[in-house]
Structure 1
Amino acid sequence: MIRSRARQLMCDRSFASKGAHIDESIPVNERIIRMIDDEIEKTSYIANARQNGPGEGERLAKSGLSWYAKSFTYIYFIICGGTGAVKIGRADNVKKRMAELQVSNPSKLSLLCHFRAPSIFEPTLHTIFSKSRLRGEWFSITDELLDLAEIGNDQNYIGVLNYCKDMLERNKPVDGLNGQE
């Protein structure tokens, strides 16, 4: 019972948007893929509104996406030189966050990538990479994590979303709590 509730809370935190209901009958991978499709649609709409120049705020307000556009922050991947572990986190100021983390870490930390994304995407990445979780927000390096960092380094959030979707479609289902299948 406790394990089931913890799993549900983790999924709720990762996939819920304002007022969304979580359908537990849908596998975790499928929920993430649906969330990613929704993210691509919203992000594309915002990008188009911004390209069209004046009136962007009014268009976003009419679409109901102004709250979403304001939720963007930086998602970062930081590697610990001593262990090779990668921290997936979020911050409004990545340089400041790295300095804070470096103070409490005896090994050199280096920034692999950072990109703009809604803050809700960070726990989704934690779920996607749960099989390689070491502890908390620290993960072992995998080819997929490094590939994603390369895409993110180009500040291409939609590219990151598409890569995550492809990765989920070709891999076995993930368990949002502990990486079990």
Structure 2
Amino acid sequence: MANRSAPDGPGAREGYVYFIQEWPCEDGPIKIGFSGDVGERLRVLRSKTRLDLHVIGWFPATLSVERDLHKRFSAIRLHGEWFEATPELLGVVELVRALHNEAGK
């Protein structure tokens, strides 16, 4: 796994910011994370829990974007990278999904 503390700038670590949630639990906590391989990250997370976790949104980004989202939603942080599923956070997830679907057309 690459160094999560790599500096931002021209050589900033690139990958994907993702949102993971237990399924079907629309009001359950949401994990905001960063990975170079979202599918592999989901596989690892699933291996550590009995919860039925699913990726509910993702987009190409740098590690600094994940950090910014953690700061933005710090008031609803439950623990680690898990956040309460507030209407505002769910709105961000919906926006990401809409933009991702539009870009794929």
* Aligned counterparts of 2:22 and 2:8: Cα–Cα separation in 1: 32
2:94 alignment partner in structure 1 = 150
Q: Unaligned 5+ residue runs, structure 2? A: none
Report if the CA contact (8 A) 1:80-1:109 is conserved. yes
Between structures 1 and 2, the one with greater helix share: 1
Give the length in aligned residue pairs: 93
1:107 alignment partner in structure 2 = 51
1:88 partner letter: I
Paired-residue identity, %: 33
1:125 alignment partner in structure 2 = 69
Choose the corresponding residue for 2:18, options 61, 68, 76: 76
Name the SS of the counterpart of 1:155 in structure 2. Answer: helix
Name the SS of the counterpart of 2:44 in structure 1. Answer: helix
Between structures 1 and 2, the one with greater strand share: 2
* Aligned counterparts of 1:105 and 1:122: Cα–Cα separation in 2: 23
1:71 CA displacement: 3.2
Structure 1-normalised TM-score? Answer: 0.47
Bigger CA drift: 123-132 or 77-86?
A: 77-86
* Aligned counterparts of 1:97 and 1:17: Cα–Cα separation in 2: 22
1:155 CA displacement: 2.9
Question: 1:107-149: CA deviations, max 9, x gaps?
Answer: 1001110001111111111110011100000001011111111
* Aligned counterparts of 1:71 and 1:152: Cα–Cα separation in 2: 20
